[in-house]
Amino acid sequence: MIAVDWGTSSFRAYRLNAAGVVLDTRSSPRGILTVADGGFAAVLREEVGAWLEAERLMLLSGMIGSRQGWHEAPYVPCPAGEPEIRAALVRLDFDWPGEVWLASGLSCRAHDVPDVMRGEEVQILGALDVLDDEDGLVCLPGTHSKWVRVRGRRIVGFETHMTGEAFAVFRQHSILGRLMPPSGQEADPEDAAFAAGLARARTAGGLLHHLFGARSLGLMGDLPAAALPAYLSGLLIGHELAATAAIAGPVHLIGSEALTRRYARALELSGRAAKPLAPDLAAAGLHLLSQGL
Amino acid sequence: MIAVDWGTSSFRAYRLNAAGVVLDTRSSPRGILTVADGGFAAVLREEVGAWLEAERLMLLSGMIGSRQGWHEAPYVPCPAGEPEIRAALVRLDFDWPGEVWLASGLSCRAHDVPDVMRGEEVQILGALDVLDDEDGLVCLPGTHSKWVRVRGRRIVGFETHMTGEAFAVFRQHSILGRLMPPSGQEADPEDAAFAAGLARARTAGGLLHHLFGARSLGLMGDLPAAALPAYLSGLLIGHELAATAAIAGPVHLIGSEALTRRYARALELSGRAAKPLAPDLAAAGLHLLSQGL
């Protein structure tokens, strides 16, 4: 089968054998935002065309199922596990002897406020065997970090934190960026300034006040310009961790190696246990969903 | 005398008699960011030229004293009141028989993190007679809101919250803006959505999570697009108020009429007393500083 994780800014495809072993992979920066409406089938054929002759089943997950993607798939409400997510798969038209299915995202609601995800739920399915023993808490750091509670092989609820996007907009579009060096000239984000930002997030004052420190520390010479991005990153991740501190237990991490390492360090500095999970979980989750189709 | 409050995005000038009564005012959008380096004297002459012949003393405050302004004046450390701020006045060169003086900003330090202000300290001086009886807490809402503690006619400390700038960058540059209407088509910022954002800020979850609700509430149809800016404003002001809730006592407000009204409503909805102060306090503060020059 072919498994495709098609997000906002990237495209990743896997060819899997019947046991779910990855035989081949492709990845490209052709996220959905780079594809004009109506162009998704053509891009898909360009990316995985070499595999189409031999395969007869393809599953897709991620923002490709959003309003800005190929087809808007309605969210499945939590709690939801493998059966609910499989039952909500949407069949797509694609000129091919095989079948193409699209995974819906998930929604939940807490304090009368809804929350949504698209794609992360499939990665969680791919990690269920690991999460099975211990009812688990999973963090998927990124532009919109997801904190997901899993119980009895079902996603029971989750929270989105705009940590990565907040970092980007404050660095690129606020006064905080004025003192910072160009991208690529910043200090190692795991350095002392990152730890200082994390520690600051544990004090009183609130994020909106702490953010201004990423300017005044530079202005008054307390931190060199090259360290300010790492300090800002520490502040934001620190506030994300503080907001999720009430959820006990080890935090399973799913994400890129760099982000996973940064969050693991932040969790450990906050006295919490971090358990990084394997990469390519989207392929494992889509393979699981394909069983019984 | 002539009093000038010259900020990042606006220029305001006052002609005062010896008793400090405002005889005439001028205001323009020629904030320091619109003036090329070396051009400040010429702009000043264009703006207040009509008053120069009859006057012999001019005082300036605000970001005109910053690195991006006419002349960088060093910050005066807190605690500081009228004598310390007057002693730090900087004389500027200006081709005129009179004297031109520039007020320095203030700095303070808490938890080893510095904070700075330029211009707000002069507005506080202008309100000292009102703040005198009750050792006061003053909030100056804006792009960078200032929360200032006054005791015995001295500013003993303050905190900056990036509330206004956070609103602007999230609305203009983040995914939150995508669902929002163009500026001018939003709902009244004092409406029910503003109160809902304020209430949300009082719950657990943290600002980075609450921000995502300003997307998901729109996405799932819980809030109409026109209400999302007011909800975001309520969230951010609510987090600012939550972070300052430990400071007891009524909150004196200094700012534009619209912002003062919005903060007064937010404070009252949070069970705190708001006391709006008079406008044009910069003129009163600069007049006070001029005494004894």
Residue A96 and residue A52 in contact, taking contact as beta carbons nearer than 8 Å: yes
Give the A-side interface with B, CB within 8 Å: 107, 111-116, 144-145, 159-163, 165-166, 169-170, 172-175, 200, 203-209, 211-213, 216-217, 219-220, 222, 236, 239-240, 242-244, 246
Residue A187 has pLDDT above 90, yes or no: no
Answer whether residue B171 shows pLDDT above 70: yes
Could you tell me the pLDDT band of residue A10, with boundaries at 50, 70 and 90?
very high
Q: What is the mean pLDDT of residues A1-23?
A: 96
Q: What is the arithmetic mean of pLDDT over B180-200?
A: 89
CA-closest candidate to residue B243, choices B122, B147, B153, B168: B147
For residue B247, the chain A residue with the least C-alpha distance is: A205
| Confidence bin at A134 (pLDDT 50/70/90) | low
Distance CA B101, CA B106 (A): 16
- Long-range contacts of residues A276-280, Cβ cutoff 8 Å, at least 24 apart: A276/A252, A277/A127, A277/A130, A277/A138, A277/A252, A277/A253, A278/A127, A278/A130, A280/A14, A280/A22, A280/A25, A280/A126
> What single DSSP character describes residue B54?
T
Task: Say whether pLDDT at B248 is over 80.
Answer: no
Rounded distance between C-alpha atoms, residue B83 and residue B255, angstroms: 25
Q: B186 pLDDT exceeds 90?
A: no
What is the DSSP-derived secondary structure letter of residue B279? S
Both structure tokens of A166 = 């907040």
Picking from B111, B165, B206, the nearest residue to A161 by CB comes out as B206
pLDDT band for position B293 (cuts 50, 70, 90): confident
The pair of three-digit structure tokens given for residue A185, joined into one six-digit string: 């000239």
Q: Using DSSP, state whether B84 is helix, strand or coil.
A: helix
Nearest to residue A283, comparing CAs of A8, A9, A27, A31? Answer: A27
Q: Which residues of B touch A8 (CB under 8 A)?
A: none
Pick from B146, B291, B65: which is nearest to A209 by CA? B146
Which whole number is the average pLDDT over A5-32? 96
Interface of B with A (CB under 8 A): 107, 111-116, 144-145, 159-163, 165-166, 169-170, 172-175, 200, 203-209, 211-213, 216-217, 219-220, 222, 236, 239-240, 242-244, 246
* Domain A2-133+279-290 grouped into CATH 3.30.420.300: yes
Higher pLDDT residue, A182 or A62? A62
Please state, in angstroms and rounded to a whole number, the distance separating the CA atoms of residues B207 and B169: 15
**pTM of the prediction?**
0.94
**SS3 state of residue B161:** strand
**Selected residue with higher pLDDT from A79 and B246:** A79
Res B176 pLDDT > 80: yes
Give this complex's ipTM.
Answer: 0.94
B187-223 burial code (b ≥16 CB/10 A, e <16):
bebbeebbbbbbbbbeeebbbbbbbbbbbbbbbeebb
- Per-residue confidence (pLDDT) for residue A69, from 0 to 100: 95
Helix axes A228-243, A192-201, angle to 10 degrees: 40
pLDDT at A131: 85
Cβ-Cβ contacts under 8 Å, B222 against chain A: 112-114
pLDDT at B133: 62
Predicted pLDDT of residue A32: 94
State whether CATH 3.30.420.300 applies to domain B2-131+278-290: yes
What does the pLDDT read at residue A230?
96
Please determine whether the domains at A2-133+279-290 and A163-243 fall in the same fold group of CATH: yes
Question: Taking 80 as the threshold, does the pLDDT of residue A135 lie above it?
Answer: no
Nearest CA in chain A to B235: A208
Question: Does the pLDDT at position A247 exceed 80?
Answer: no
Q: Residue A18 is encoded by which pair of tokens?
A: 């019947």
Residues 6+ apart with CB under 8 A from A141: A163, A164, A237, A253, A255, A259, A260, A262, A263
Residue A221 is predicted with a pLDDT of: 95
**Which residues of chain A neighbour B220 with C-beta distances below 8 Å?**
107, 114, 116
CATH number of B163-243: 3.30.420.310
Q: What is the rounded distance in angstroms from the CA atom of residue B293 to the CA atom of residue A147?
A: 61
Q: Cα–Cα distance between A104 and A90 in angstroms, integer?
A: 7
> What's the token pair of residue B292?
């004894």
Preferred mutation among B113, B163, B174, B235 to probe A, highest tally of A CBs within 10 A: B113
**Helix, strand, coil distribution of chain A in percent, nearest 5:** 40, 25, 35
At residue B156, what is the residue type?
Answer: V
Residue B52 has pLDDT above 70, yes or no: yes
Q: What is the pLDDT of residue B56?
A: 97
Interval A147-172 mean pLDDT: 96
Domain borders along chain B are 2-131+278-290, 163-243
Q: Which residue has the higher pLDDT, B190 or A104?
A: A104
Q: What is the DSSP letter of A69?
A: S
What confidence tier does B119 reach under pLDDT thresholds 50, 70, 90? very high
CB distance B111–A240 less than 8 Å? no
User: How confident is the model over B191-246, as pLDDT tens digits?
Assistant: 899 999 999 999 999 999 999 999 999 999 999 999 999 999 999 999 999 999 88
CB contact under 8 A, A216 and B172: no
Assigned token pair, A65: 């199922």
Mean pLDDT value of segment A99-111: 96
The helix/strand/coil state of A10 is: coil
Q: Is B179 helix (H, G, I), strand (E, B) or coil?
A: helix
- Chain A CA closest to residue B170: A169
Percent of the residues in chain A that have a pLDDT greater than 70, as a whole number: 99
The pLDDT of residue A217 is above 90: yes
Is the pLDDT reported for residue A169 higher than 80?
Answer: yes
Q: Contact B48/B6 with Cβ under 8 angstroms?
A: no
Whole-number Å distance between alpha carbons of B172 and B162: 15
Least confident of A11-25, B107-121, B200-214, B245-259: B245-259
With a cut of 80, say whether residue B190 has pLDDT above it. no
Tell me the count of A-B CB pairs closer than 8 A: 138
Predicted confidence at residue B278, as pLDDT, reads 87
Neighbouring-strand partners of residue B81: B154
Please state the rounded mean pLDDT for residues B132-141: 84
Eight-class DSSP state of A238 = H
* Least confident interval from A117-121, A142-146, A240-244, B134-138: B134-138
pLDDT classification of B187: cutoffs 50, 70, 90:
confident
Could you tell me the pLDDT band of residue B134, with boundaries at 50, 70 and 90?
Answer: low
Least confident of A138-152, A225-239, B178-192: B178-192
Average pLDDT, stretch B82-93? Answer: 97
